[in-house]
Amino acid sequence: EPKRIYRAIKQEVSDEKFSLPLDKARVVQEGTDITVVAFGAMIRECQKAIKMAQEAGISVELIDLRSIYPIDRETIRNSVRKTGRVIVVAEANESFSVGSELIAVVNEEAFLYLEAPPRRVMGFDTVVPLAQGEKYFIISPERIFYEIE
């Protein structure tokens, strides 16, 4: 379990009651060149990678799924129609994962709009290493940016 995310983010929490629809993803950032779909701790890493992309002149749309079921197919489809490219970022292993399912959604819902094959930035298909090896195993903004480029 990646321990680097423990206490890594601190935010204010509202005292007011609120709810979020589980079937609606959130477009964190609008973009025109490529869509990045992520959730959970990977949103923060994607935002760092997007800053690098902006410096390189690449406009990235970031979608936060918020939940993995049900998947908001409409938001994903509309974004891929706009950008023509998609990268899925998730911490799980690449094989047989939520990321694989998201690629299937893209292929089913937006295949004709793709200008390039969908890509995944995911964990390696192996066990998580001890703490000393975490920095090589855990997805970094640099690894995400490499795929964006």
Distances (CA, A) of 41 to 19, 31, 96, 130: 20, 21, 20, 19
Q: What pLDDT does residue 90 have?
A: 95
Q: What pLDDT does residue 87 have?
A: 98
For the domain covering 20-148, report its CATH number.
3.40.50.920
Residue with the bigger pLDDT between 131 and 43: it is 43
Of the pLDDT bands very low, low, confident and very high (cuts 50, 70, 90), residue 108 is very high
Of the pLDDT bands very low, low, confident and very high (cuts 50, 70, 90), residue 109 is very high
Of the pLDDT bands very low, low, confident and very high (cuts 50, 70, 90), residue 129 is confident
| Tens-place pLDDT, residues 64-78 | 999 999 999 999 999
Of the pLDDT bands very low, low, confident and very high (cuts 50, 70, 90), residue 130 is confident
Q: Mean pLDDT throughout 77-85?
A: 98
Q: Cβ-count burial of 31 within 10 angstroms (0-12 exposed, 13-18 middle, 19+ buried)? A: buried
